[in-house]
Structure formats: structure tokens, C-alpha cells
């Protein structure tokens, strides 16, 4: 009897293909997922193969499936990911998979919401809350007592010290760092390589070392 769960990855781009590789790595440790393919709004790639997995259609394809399926969204843009998930939430047959690479080091005192993705090489220590539909990319460190709200995107090699709050839909650029006890406002974008040494307000782009807002939206 096949006990594998049917899984689709939303987003057939580079990160989506990395998530497909993660699924393969998870299945090597414990067979869990039957990866059916990718979902993507780009109709020009429908019917093609991406790393041997088919691009089967757009989100409407999932909405029309008559049986229960599992989905994870591998779209890096936090706001776009939120819109996709809110649409899929209207279908009771769609469930959201939480994927944690076998290489991730994390304690039992970490909570992770549904639909989140944590990539290889990442260390998540103790007493940490990670929301739903969060992406934590390769080689990140998440320190004690951090709160990462829903739909946050953390790009590769980000270092977050302890007691940090990251608001919903924030995006933390590759290689940036946050010192202990700081807050990142919701929907803010922190540039690659930035160093956050003071709180960052909501809905801005901040860059530099030390990081300073350069644009509000």
C-alpha cells in the first residue's frame, strides 16, 4: 500500500528546483512524499520538465483536483507567496507541507508553522517561534528566543542573533546580519550584506552597515 503523500511545489524556478532536491533528501531518510511536479503561472513552461519533474499547470490545476494534496510554495517574494497561499486556502483539499532538510540542526524547543521551508546548513537553536509559510534558505543561523512571523523570506547565509523579532512578509537579503534584540518591521526588505544594529521600521527598504532605511512604501 502506497502511504506517500502527493506533493506539489508552487514555483518552478531555481528555488523550486532546490526544494525538489530537498524532498528527495527527505525521502532518502524517511519516504514521505510523492512529488507530482511543479505549479507555475508561466503557461509557456506548462508541460515541460524541470529537473525531471513536470510543470503540470497553474494554481487552478490544484483547485480542481478532487482528492487531498499537499502543497509547498517556493516563491521567494513574501508578498506574492502570501497571495498564492491565500488563494489556495479556499480549497479544503489543499494541505500545506512543512519541509525541513535532514541537515538542519534544531532543538525540540522550536515551533515551525505549516508550509514553511528550512534549507540545508541552517542552525535553529532554542525557544524559537517560526511562523507559517516562512522560507529560511541555505546556511542561516537563527538565535535563541527569536520570533519569525508568517511569510518571512530569509535568503542564504543570514545570521540572526537572539531575541530578534521579524515581522510578517519581511525579506532578509543574502549574507545580512542582525545583532541581538532588534526588530524588523513587517514587509520591510533588508539588503544583501546589511548589518542591522537598530530597529528597522515597517514597509521600508534598508541597506548598508549599519543598515538604514532608504525608501518607504
Per annotation, catalytic residue among 46, 67, 133, 144:
144
Q: Tell me the DSSP string of the chain.
A: ---PEEEEEE--SHHHHHHHHHHHHHHHHS--EEEEEEE-S-GGGTT-EETTEEEEE-HHHHHT-SS-EEEEE----HHHHHHHHHHHTT-TTEEE--EE-TT-EE-TTEEE-TT-EE-TT-EE-SSEEE-TT-EE-TT-EE-TT-EE-TT-EE-TT-EE-SS-EE-TT-EE-TT-EE-TT-EE-TT-EE-TT-EE-S-B-SSEEEETTTTEEEEE-
203: left (phi over 0), alpha (psi -120 to 50) or beta: left
144 is catalytic: yes
Phi-psi region of 126 (alpha: psi -120 to 50; beta: other; left: phi over 0): beta
Active-site residue numbers?
Answer: 144
Amino acid at each position: 500500500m502506497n502511504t506517500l503523500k502527493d506533493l506539489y511545489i508552487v514555483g518552478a524556478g531555481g528555488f523550486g528546483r532546490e526544494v525538489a532536491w530537498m524532498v528527495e533528501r527527505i525521502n532518502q531518510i524517511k519516504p514521505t512524499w510523492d512529488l507530482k511536479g511543479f505549479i507555475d503561472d508561466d503557461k509557456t513552461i506548462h508541460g515541460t520538465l524541470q529537473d525531471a519533474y513536470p510543470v503540470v499547470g497553474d494554481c487552478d490545476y490544484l483547485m480542481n483536483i478532487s482528492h487531498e494534496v499537499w502543497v509547498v510554495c517556493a516563491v521567494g517574494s513574501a508578498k506574492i507567496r502570501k497571495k498564492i497561499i491565500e488563494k489556495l486556502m479556499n480549497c479544503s483539499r489543499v494541505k500545506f507541507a512543512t519541509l525541513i532538510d535532514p541537515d538542519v540542526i534544531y532543538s525540540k524547543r522550536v515551533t515551525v508553522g505549516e508550509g514553511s521551508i528550512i534549507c540545508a546548513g541552517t542552525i535553529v537553536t532554542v525557544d524559537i517561534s517560526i511562523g507559517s509559510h516562512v522560507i529560511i534558505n541555505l546556511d542561516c543561523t537563527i538565535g535563541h528566543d527569536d520570533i519569525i512571523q508568517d511569510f518571512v523570506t530569509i535568503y542564504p547565509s543570514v545570521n540572526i542573533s537572539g531575541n530578534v523579532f521579524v515581522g510578517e512578509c519581511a525579506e532578509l537579503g543574502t549574507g545580512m546580519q542582525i545583532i541581538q534584540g532588534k526588530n524588523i518591521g513587517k514587509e520591510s526588505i533588508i539588503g544583501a550584506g546589511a548589518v542591522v544594529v537598530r530597529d528597522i521600521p515597517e514597509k521600508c527598504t534598508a541597506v548598508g552597515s549599519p543598515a538604514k532605511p532608504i525608501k518607504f512604501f
